[in-house]
């Protein structure tokens, strides 16, 4: 690992009992009470164990056989565990089927540590957040980061948000502001579902107005935008995810998916000096409701096939940094929450970032 010592909050077997009154700053909570960065083997930066596309206003939302879904997710996670993965950033947030109790069960049975988010997908608010002001919404996100989700004590480890690909609606604008406020107040990472570079830049403007520090910003689906767009935001200090590795087609955004194309993009970014800001994943979903919307992704592909290709292209050290080390740094502790689950003891080495507005 590079000069990073960090940790994160995650759904895990004893997470509800974690967080001693005076925790060490270089530790993270896990099933034994502590998870250190040195104990992370390999990581997945953007995955889903369960996703629900019905929407929280529909009767079918979350109406599934959870025993079956958990069993399928455990089988999926055990494949990753067999590949050496023991940390997964799980991006399912409010509005698309987040279930932290189910995720905890998957964690217990698979022995994988999951980081789960607070935040709302687009404008799919849960009933308790419908119509509430921005400040109240932000307070809810902070509570899920600091105290726990749905009364479980399982704390979120990041804020995840998104908006319409063509630009934020009025409702989404308020959700984005609340997410930025929560991330600012806690020091948490803020992950944004943003295939379009122009929309992502505009979202960053909204968040900066709330005082959010964009070096905690993770741009998901960045591969859909151009190399120049990627470099432009990387120059400002954001992390980038290329998260359709192994897909045959990107039916959502029409972005590049072939291994050759992604290897070339990664090599160009590494040659440009951005290796500390890149992450990879498959953005697969182990289970989807309704099943007819299951999409073409396999989260085992990254380590089964792509890892070796990447090593041949950019070397073992840089491959490990992109697949593991950068994930730890990007999703490190909400630095203003002294709960014992994340802080760097050494400031991460990042590219010198320009501060000019986009």
DSSP 303-329: IIIIHHHHHHHH-HHHHHIIIIIHHHH
pLDDT tops 50 at residue 332: yes
Question: What per-residue string of b and e applies to 115-125 under the rule 16 or more CB within 10 Å gives b?
Answer: bbbbbbbbbbb
The three-class DSSP label of residue 189 is strand
Cβ neighbours of 258 (radius 10 Å): 11
Which pLDDT value is given to residue 310? 98
With H, G, I as helix, E, B as strand and everything else as coil, classify residue 115: strand
Q: Which residues, including other chains, have CB under 8 Å from residue 281's CB and lie 6 or more apart?
A: 44, 45, 46, 47, 89, 241, 242, 243, 245, 299, 302
Residues 6+ away with beta carbon under 8 Å from 12: 18, 29, 30, 31, 35, 104, 107, 108, 113, 114
CA-to-CA distance for 215 and 217, rounded, in angstroms? 5
Q: Is the pLDDT of residue 358 over 80?
A: no
pLDDT above 50 for 311: yes
Identify the DSSP state of 253. Answer: T
- Spatial separation of the C-alpha atoms in residues 263 and 280, rounded to whole Å: 11
Say yes or no to pLDDT of 339 above 50: no
Q: pTM, whole model, 2 decimals?
A: 0.87
**CA-based nearest residue to 284, from 76, 126, 31:** 76
Q: Count the Cβ atoms, other than its own, within 10 Å of residue 317.
A: 12
Give the start-to-end residue ranges of the domains of the chain: 15-330
- Whether the pLDDT of residue 19 is over 60: the answer is no
| pLDDT tens per residue, range 31-79 | 333 457 888 999 999 999 999 999 999 999 999 999 999 999 999 999 9
Phi, psi of 215 (to 5 degrees): -75, 0
Topology classification of domain 15-330: TIM Barrel (3.20.20)
Can you give the pLDDT at residue 28? 39
């Amino acid at each position: 690992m590079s000069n990073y010592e960090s940790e994160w909050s995650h759904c895990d077997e004893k997470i509800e009992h974690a967080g001693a009154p005076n925790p060490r700053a270089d530790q993270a909570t896990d099933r034994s009470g502590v998870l250190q960065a040195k104990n992370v083997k390999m990581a997945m930066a953007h995955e889903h164990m369960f996703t629900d596309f019905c929407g929280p206003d529909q009767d079918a939302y979350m109406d599934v056989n959870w025993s079956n879904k958990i069993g399928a997710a455990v089988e999926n996670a055990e494949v990753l565990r067999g590949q050496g993965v023991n940390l997964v950033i799980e991006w399912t947030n409010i509005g698309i089927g987040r279930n932290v109790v189910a995720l905890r069960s998957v964690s217990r049975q698979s022995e994988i540590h999951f980081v789960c988010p607070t935040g709302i997908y687009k404008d799919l608010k849960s009933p308790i957040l419908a119509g509430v002001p921005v400040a109240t919404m932000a307070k809810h996100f902070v509570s899920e980061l600091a105290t726990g989700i749905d009364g479980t004590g399982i704390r979120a480890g990041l804020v995840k948000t998104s908006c319409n690909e063509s630009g934020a609606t009025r409702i989404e604008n308020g959700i984005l502001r609340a997410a930025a406020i929560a991330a600012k107040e806690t020091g948490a990472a803020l992950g944004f579902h943003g295939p379009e570079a122009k929309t992502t830049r505009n979202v960053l403007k909204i968040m900066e107005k709330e005082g959010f520090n964009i070096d905690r910003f993770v741009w998901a689906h960045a591969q859909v935008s151009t190399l120049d767009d990627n470099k432009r935001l990387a120059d400002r200090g954001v992390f980038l995810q290329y998260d359709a590795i192994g897909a045959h087609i990107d039916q959502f955004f029409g972005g590049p998916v072939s291994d050759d194309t992604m290897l070339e993009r990664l090599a160009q970014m590494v040659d440009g000096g951005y290796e500390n800001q890149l992450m990879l994943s498959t953005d697969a979903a182990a289970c989807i409701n309704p099943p007819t919307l299951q999409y073409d992704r396999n989260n085992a592909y990254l380590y089964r096939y792509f890892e070796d290709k990447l090593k041949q292209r950019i070397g073992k050290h840089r491959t490990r940094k992109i697949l593991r080390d950068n994930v730890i740094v990007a999703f490190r502790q909400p630095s203003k929450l002294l709960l014992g689950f994340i802080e760097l003891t050494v400031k991460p080495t990042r590219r010198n970032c320009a501060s000019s507005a986009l």
